[in-house]
Amino acid sequence: MKIAIACDHAGFMLKDDVLEAIEQTGNEVLDLGTYNQEPVDYPDYAEKAGRAIVQNQADRAIILCGSGAGASIAANKIK
């Protein structure tokens, strides 16, 4: 299974741990960013994760942000 992961700057510190856990289960990772702690807008990364599912680039997606609320709302707007 291919799992996309995307995060904003607030979720960046957790990303490496999540990537490692995904890979340990034998799944493939599609890393959609962000790649550092510089401030970014979470909706941009939530959209990347949602689009990866719609475009069949990934089977599932994980989004990491400060609270999880805004990113989940943004991702769920993608049909």
In this predicted structure, the answer to whether residue 28 has a pLDDT above a threshold of 90 is yes
User: Any catalytic annotation for residue 65?
Assistant: yes
Per-residue pLDDT band at 59 (split at 50, 70, 90) = very high
Q: Which helix (H) or strand (E) holds 6?
A: strand 2-7
Q: What is the pLDDT of residue 79?
A: 85
pTM of the model: 0.91
Q: What percent of the chain has pLDDT over 90?
A: 89
Active-site residue identified among 30, 49, 65, 74: 65
Q: How far apart, in whole angstroms, are the C-alpha atoms of residue 69 and residue 79?
A: 18
Locate all alpha helices (DSSP H) within 1-79, ordered by sequence. 12-24, 42-54, 69-76
Could you report the per-residue pLDDT of 37-58, keeping only the tens digit for each?
999 999 999 999 999 999 999 9
